[in-house]
Amino acid sequence: MPPIGGQAVLEGVMMQNGDRIAVAVRREKDGTIVVQDLAARKTLKRVGEIPFVRGLFRLYDMMSLGLRAIDLSAKLAFPEETQMGKSGTFLTFALAIVVAIGGFVILPLYITNAFHALRTGNPVLFNLVEGLIRIILFLAYLLAISRMKDIRRVFQYHGAEHKTVHTFEASEELTVENAKKHSPLHPRCGTAFLMIVLVIAILVFSLAGNPVLWLKILSRLLLLPVVAGVSYEALRFSGSKSDRLWVRILSQPGLWMQRLTTAEPTDDMIEVAIASLERVTQPQAAPSAESH
């Protein structure tokens, strides 16, 4: 059985069990939990078996699924509000990608390049400082948005997702009381993957040396698929060796980062996460939305 995965969405949780995907939200109007299936997209299985190439496609699948889950959660939780169409959602997503590349790829490079000693010095030291600045900027960003009320609720649902998955993996009955005992942190979380990306980027970007600024920017953009591919393979390897002490030690930074992206959920948030997980682990249900 494939490992259970999930994601916090607007006022709810998306859970995935292989090709079975469900989004559960608590409807704002009446507090009812609404659960709806989300169709899995067809993937290129042969490409998915090629090491270092499959990471880029897997990353695209994750981002695409996450975007569709968030869009569905908005429609379920706030049905009376005007929703963005597909074009609006795509533009929002594209803008977020541009801002992420500008803020966490180009900006750290520009700041590091402003120091003459680094700009003309050892390329390894340059890339190390650039990577540390990138990590600091990313942590500062997470810390800042975690103080926003709406984002805080998403982070609480993120914690509810992890607690519920822990309960399932421990073969315990899916109840609020059982889930509350577990940690809101999980070693397979996408946040851990982001930490791996930040570290791998330091190593991969070092391959470009220390050329002039425009070549540095171009090299970073061209090497992003390489970073994604190597990071995915590192994540797969660490997941297969999760019982090893050295793997647990290397996984700690990712777990520490999760303290910024998760929060203790309320009981009603855990109920939503349980509803989503039950949908993808129990016998196939009807595809229409259900309320309870």
Place of tokens 């698929």: 225
189 vs 215, residue with greater confidence: 215
Distance CA 2, CA 37 (A): 18
Rg (CA), the chain: 20
pLDDT band at 53 (very low <50, low <70, confident <90, very high): confident
For residues 226 and 140, give the distance between their C-alpha atoms in angstroms, rounded to a whole number.
26
Domain boundaries, the chain: 5-291
Spatial distance between the Cα atoms of 192 and 260, rounded to a whole number of angstroms: 12
Distance CA 119, CA 116 (A): 5
pLDDT digits (tens, 9 = 90+) for 111-166: 999 999 999 888 889 999 999 999 999 999 999 998 899 999 999 999 999 999 99
pLDDT digits (tens, 9 = 90+) for 230-274: 888 887 777 666 677 777 777 788 788 889 999 999 999 999 999
State how far the Cα of 238 lies from the Cα of 162, in Å rounded to an integer: 19
